[in-house]
Amino acid sequence: MLQEMNKIAIIHLFLLGFEEEVSNFTLGLTNPSTQADLLKVDLWKEKMLLYKDAVTDPGNGIQPASSTWAKKHIFGWSDDEIRTDLLQQRMERAIGEELKNTPTVIVKTGIFDTLDKLYGTKEGAGAPAAPPGEVSEPAATELPGGLGGGFDAEFGGGGGAPETPETPPGQEAAVTPESTSIKDLNILLENDIHGSKFLDLSIGQQNLGKIAEELDKLLGS
């Protein structure tokens, strides 16, 4: 169309005496309108409906036409185009089966790693809670020389040992296991006939020298 209109324009300019302007112009057309696109869509809809009617079994087990014939005569495809379409359909079916197996192949995509780190919980996280009625005991603090925290608890020494909780009024202070862990230094505690512990100050006065020696060893180390 542009070529024929270009010829008409050249003849028109030549007859009007614009011989120098015969080759000094350019013609152009606008893009197809939306109405033309709608007409194409309607045309393909009619072709698709006709194709479905042609390849659908009417109920007697025989289709009006084969899929190959319908594609060739309704869509106007060539043999190569029909063969290419069959190859593409087989590849797309294989892709569809692979997509179905995606959850078993890709366990974790990593998209939600940031959210999982901020708000997620890990299995086994945190210390197990103590059973009802039981109170967990803190670990004993070790002192230099292999001595436990019981020595400081008995003789008032520092050394970073944990503080002994205050005894409520009307209750006697219980003897902790650490206070009896040092056999040689546990000279102030004796067992009575009932097995309870009590302080014997006379024994402590007799063994002040031994206590001083142990303190010197502890401070010296």
Q: pTM of the full predicted structure?
A: 0.38
Q: Decide which of 207 and 100 is more confident.
A: 100
> Residue 78: pLDDT above 80?
yes
Q: Strand 197-199 relative to strand 189-191: parallel, antiparallel, unpaired? A: antiparallel
Determine the 3-state secondary structure of 199 from DSSP: strand
Whole-number pLDDT of residue 214: 80
Average pLDDT, the chain: 73
Q: Which of 207, 175, 209 is nearest to 191 (CA)?
A: 175
**Distances from the Cα of 130 to the Cαs of 13, 60, 123, 141, 177, in angstroms?**
105, 76, 18, 22, 20
Whole-number pLDDT of residue 123: 62
Residues 184, 218: Cα–Cα separation, whole Å: 14
Domain ranges of the chain: 1-30, 40-106, 147-158+176-220
- The residues near 75 (Cβ < 8 Å, ≥ 6 apart) are 47, 51
> Residue 177: pLDDT above 90?
no
Residues 221, 216: Cα–Cα separation, whole Å: 8
Residues 158, 179: Cα–Cα separation, whole Å: 15
Whole-number pLDDT of residue 84: 96
- Residues 151-175 have pLDDT tens digits of 444 444 444 444 545 555 555 544 4
In the chain, the percentage of residues whose pLDDT exceeds 90 is 30
Residues 70, 48: Cα–Cα separation, whole Å: 10
> Residue 181: pLDDT above 50?
no
- The residues near 181 (Cβ < 8 Å, ≥ 6 apart) are 140, 148, 150
Residues 83, 71: Cα–Cα separation, whole Å: 11
Which tokens in the block code for residue 214? 């142990």
Whole-number pLDDT of residue 133: 53
Which residue stretches of 56-149 are H helix?
67-73, 79-100, 102-105, 113-119
Residues 168, 166: Cα–Cα separation, whole Å: 6
- Residues 51-77 have pLDDT tens digits of 999 999 999 999 999 999 999 999 999
Which tokens in the block code for residue 129? 């809670």
